[in-house]
Structure 1
Amino acid sequence: MTEQVSTLTVTDNRTGRTYEIPVENGAIRANALRSIKVDEGDFGLMTYDPAFTNTASCRSAITFIDGDAGILRYRGFPITELADKSSFLEVAYLLLAGELPTASELAVWESEITHHTLVHESIKKFIDGFHHDAHPMGMLLSSVGALSTFYPDAKEISDPGLRRLQIVRLIAKITTLAAFSYRHSIGLPYVYPDNDLSYAGNFLNMMWKATELKYEPDPNLEHALDVLFILHADHEQNCSTNAMRAVGSSQADPFSAAAAAISALYGPLHGGANEQVLRMLTDIGSVENIPAFIEKVKEGKKKLMGFGHRVYKNYDPRARVIRQVADEVFKVTGTNPLLDLALELERIALED
């Protein structure tokens, strides 16, 4: 029995001609519009969507987002369920393989990641070359891109085994490079990975270890960081994902493509928005200054950073999870003036 093909009938009012365009998975192929022409010399109709607000660039079963309903799922699992019951490395395996690992598969996967966390000593010298006040994200994107020169086998993108090896290397080494970049920016010596710790615990170790012989991460902080990693593990075809796919389509190695994604994430309208929120709070200064700041926002003189999301028109489901784990963190660290300022700004902004 032949499957019924859905079509879209388009009438070009310029010429009076009618066209039948196939509809697949709720979308039409942009190239199908090329046949719509005024005359033979016409290039053909094109779509114009510079911000990708209504353009599908691929088919994917990895992440599902319903912004209006505030839904985010990885491979069919609600993000709240994964944040509550899984570790980041379990979720990373899920995103890659399509299903959660068994206990034995997880043990092998964790072992692989753990034993690839070290980076070549020359990477340290590379990071040392940055000025003391260089932005950590700038150092991170440069050092990730530099990994391609240390692992020439990364260029063998047609080899499934070597492709998987680069995935392991990226997940394992990204925390080491991020921690090294941070330590360099504040003038502290680098801390090597500790294979006895979890993925999140080891990151805390490399970030914060001081003079103690062995760093013991606080369980609450370790759990909170692991949850944050889960919440940011994937987010459909966002700016950085598109950047990585675009560079990867040239058959560049995965490290160069990942560096492109980090560059996109660096921007203030993507991952850099978090930094812009902190700058905004610092500029406001105190709770007493919030009403005046809100008025300037209404007048178009200031921007209210951190409120609203391009995708989530109702609520961001990740925010609810973060608020829960934040309480665990505050029990350990206590609050600070910026946090109190942020909470009051949220209250006033949401009431207005």
Structure 2
Amino acid sequence: MNTVFLKSKTLSYARFAGVFIMLLMLSACARNPVLLQSTYSDLPPQVELRSVPFYAQTEFQCGPATLAMVLNHQGVAAKVDQLIPQVFIPGRDGSVQPEMLATVRRYEKLAFPIRGTMDTLLGHLAAGDPVVVMQNLSLPIYPMWHYAVAIGYDLPNETLILRSGEIERHTISFSRFDATWARTERWGFVVAEPGTLPTGVTPRNALEAISAFEEAHGPQATLSSWQAFVERHPTNAVGQFALGNALYADQQPAQARQAFALATDLNPEMGAAWLNLGLILLQQEEFDAAHGALTKAASLGGNVQAKARLALDTFK
């Protein structure tokens, strides 16, 4: 009896030690993120987006539930049951990021990945945008992936407010949240209407989000988003080029020509912009200018070179 008792007691201590060590490891990662001074001075001290609806998340279905919350907040009548087959991957017991973003686009909204900092996250909340965040609630070697919706914060108390799991208003310290968020490389996104560009989204993330929307819905449906992008980033050559394509698809060749010309001014090495500019000039029978633009495109190489040379053959 004593042997059995001692063995059981030893195992009990072993289990306790294992859990205790894990808690120590988890706590060691929970350090207060250093916020910019401008975050404290420029943002409201407290924000809570109470209008964001709540749907309790059952096992492995936090992805569909979080999508339903942010889509409903944008006026989309999407139900959790409708979203499950679109994002849930049974073999992975959950949803992965590409399916989450693609599902937003299927409902004709844009999904903008955010810059992975607490300052940016709080800035989006202050601007009125709930943020879907991905967390790892366990250790990196034994991940427990989880999606939640950040809906508010309290700067003086350094706490974040989440719609998470079965808790409608889950408050968590900045430090504990950031520890779980960091294990996903601080991945998150906001949802926006076409033609709007959330404050704080980087130019690269915006370009990728709008391009993905364009691939799903076409350039005409994306025109207002490219216009919003170049209004925010007028010196971005890729944005001007994309705007030119959308304007041309919308049967606005004169405005498209201006956008392509500006793209070549901003980046003289952008062969695709020279090619499209040359083709429009050719259609408008401005042959000398067209020849110059197409010659420039042909000289830059890349996959547009053959098209530029083919267009130049019309001058022979």
TM tier relative to shorter chain: under 0.3
TM-score w.r.t. structure 2 length? 0.26
TM-score w.r.t. structure 1 length? 0.24
User: RCO (CA 8 Å, sep 6+): is it higher in 1 or 2?
Assistant: 1
Give the number of the structure whose residues are more often strand, by fraction.
Answer: 2
- Structure possessing the higher radius of gyration over alpha carbons: 2
